[in-house]
Each structure stands twice: as C-alpha cells, then as structure tokens.
Amino acid sequence: MKRVIIALAAALFTAHPLLAQDTLYVYTDTIYVNKAAEPVDKDKAVERAIVTRIGNNTKVKYYTLDGTPTRVENYSIYTELHQVRNGALLQFYPNGKIRRKEIYKANECVSGELWAEDGSALPFSAPYFEAPEYPNGIMDFANKCAKCLSREIQNRNIRHEGESVQGRVLLQSTVNAEGRIEDIKVIESMHPLLDEASTEALRKAVKKETLIPAKIEGTPVDYKMITPISFKFN
C-alpha cells in the first residue's frame, strides 16, 4: 500500500495563501452583511457595505441599513468564503465623529485607540473584532484533527496505487456564539472518500471541544472558519 501524508493547516483562522484564489470583489460593489461582517442576503443583513478592491487590498465602508456610516475596514482577503482583516479599522459615532481606530494584522488587533463623542480619550480595553480561539492553542487542536483523520483514512481503507498524487479538501464550518463548531461542509473536493473522511474527522475532533467564540465589541457572534486539509499519496 502506498504511503499517505496528511497535513492539517494550523492557522485555521488566518490567511491561507490558496484561499486568495477564490473570486474576489475586484470592482466597487454594494453588498449586505451580518454582525460578523460576512456577506449575506439582504433580508438577513444588519448593515450594508461598499466594497472596493484596490491592488492587493480591499477597503470596505460599512453603513447602517438607513445609510449612516459606521466604520471603514481594510482586508487582505475578502471573499464570500473568507475575510482577513489587515490594516486600519475606523469606527464612527452616528454624528460622524471618530469612535475608535485600530490596526490589524491577519485578523489580530495589534494596536487601538478609543474616544468619547466629545473627542476625549477613553481607555482601550477590547478591540472591535476578536477571532475565535482554541483554549489549548491551535497546534493542540490541529493534532487532534490529524489523529482523527488518520483513523478515518484507515477505517475506510483508502489506498492509492500508481504515481504520487496530492491535493486538498477545503472545509467550511461555523463557530457559533457558544463556541461550538457546527454546519461542517465541503467547499472544495479532492475525492468523495477523502471529503467524507475529512468531514467526519473534523466533526469528531470538535465533538467535545468548546472554543472561545469570535466577538464584536465584546459580544460573542457566529463566525465562519475555513479548514484546509492537504493530502499527498506517495
């Protein structure tokens, strides 16, 4: 039997280089988004946004549904499947005055300032956006997923004969506001058996896991995550 090499990407919540191949908003466009700034249908939206692709960056200006500006954010990846904040975030009061300014690198806030409506400085306690976190760290969770995946491969007696083959399965799931992972689905397929094994492995790995959920201004929200799983058969 040929040897199979399985690689589970550790940076599940940050930029994955191959995700940049998804269709990007390359022209100025108006879309609707949910609380986590993910594109949704208009009837599920809490804000609308004007999306402008500029070089390798995407600038998004957010508004309430009645047209009041709320904030401006910058992304290195902005697709229907995945968003990665990189650069400045500006948030405004309803009267147009600035409320906060933050700088993000790969979805992590690295600096921030906060002001009252009268312009006086306020203590900066928490960023606008916080990505989900694993209590024991991303590598611990990645190892659990890899072990579950190896068992699923063995249980299905998946083999490959012939020349070396490699590829990946891309999974999308939701970390809900309680920190549970749900709605796991394949968004990029390699082979039906590998798709099934990958999906079941992630489902079993997270069965007893509770993550620290994503937060918007300190409030937990649902958040979509991408899990790339790479295979190489030698």
pLDDT digits (tens, 9 = 90+) for 137-171: 888 888 888 899 889 988 888 776 667 778 899 99
- The pLDDT assigned to 61 comes to 96
- The pLDDT assigned to 207 comes to 85
- The pLDDT assigned to 188 comes to 92
- The pLDDT assigned to 9 comes to 46
208 in Cβ contact with 158 (< 8 Å): no
The length of the chain in residues reads: 234
Hey, where are the domains in the chain? 4-16+133-233, 18-125
- The pLDDT assigned to 16 comes to 41
Backbone angles phi, psi at 126, to 5 degrees: -150, 145
- The pLDDT assigned to 26 comes to 53
How far apart CA 152 and CA 135 sit, in angstroms, is 25
Identify the H or E element spanning 169.
Answer: strand 165-175
Give the three-class secondary structure for 204.
helix
Q: Which residues of the chain have pLDDT under 70?
A: 1-27, 160-162
Backbone angles phi, psi at 221, to 5 degrees: -140, 160
